Chains A and B, each alone.
Chain A
């Protein structure tokens, strides 16, 4: 069975600094997707970034980038130039496609606080 592990329940970063959130996963599949979602206090789940496993190039979205290490089954999120609005719960998620769709398997989450 696929599992996703986030080993950092809480992280803190100074405004304008860089922080890295860790995620590891376990799967026997070779083709899958990985995601980082942000959940602010409003509870809305917001997609931050996605990575296709077949792509060697790490995904980047503005201040957000990932370090995808397929052999090590590691998928960390780097937030550069942290802003107060980045404070939220961050969830790493794995998805394997089947029946043209596929559920998400989430990690336990990392609560990020940003200090002014």
Chain B
């Protein structure tokens, strides 16, 4: 039973490029969450999705960031026109309905050069 799978593990992008981060939740988990961790800080919530629906995007920056969780396939966090300040570790987590905890992926470390 594979855990939460995130890829890539590391991603380097030049300023102005697009970054796409992928997350496959655990089998049986229909709720996906994205968090961002800046250096020397805790994790900050970004967005909460269920299949084909965004439930809570209160932590998403208003511009350049978007997320989706299609009926088929992984959840995608997309960052357009990346800037240096987007450099961070991005974590995906999943949970079953009414589950009390999250299972986290290993994260994607995005570096913008």
A residues neighboring B (CB under 8 Å): 33, 35, 42-45, 47, 50, 52, 91, 95, 97-109
A43 surroundings in chain B (CB, below 8 A): 89, 106-107, 109
A103/B33 contact (C-beta < 8 A), A43-B107, A45-B91, A45-B104 known? yes
Question: What's the nearest-Cβ distance from chain A to residue B43, in Å?
Answer: 5
Contact partner of B33 (CB less than 8 A), chosen from A52, A97, A100, A104, is A104
Residues of A within 8 A of B43 (CB): 45, 91, 104, 106
Chain A residues positioned under 8 Å from B104 (CB to CB): 44-45
A-B pair count, CB < 8 Å, reads: 66
Closest CB-CB distance, B108 to chain A, in whole Å?
A: 10
Q: Answer whether A104 and B98 are a contact pair too, CB < 8 Å, given A45-B91, A99-B55.
A: no
- Chain A residues lying within 8 Å of B44, measured Cβ to Cβ, are 106
In this complex, the interface size class of chain B, counting residues with CB under 8 Å from chain A, is: 20 to 34
Given contacts A44-B107, A99-B56, A104-B33, 13 further A-B contacts (CB under 8 A): A43-B107, A45-B43, A45-B93, A50-B100, A52-B100, A91-B42, A95-B101, A99-B55, A101-B48, A103-B48, A103-B59, A104-B35, A105-B45
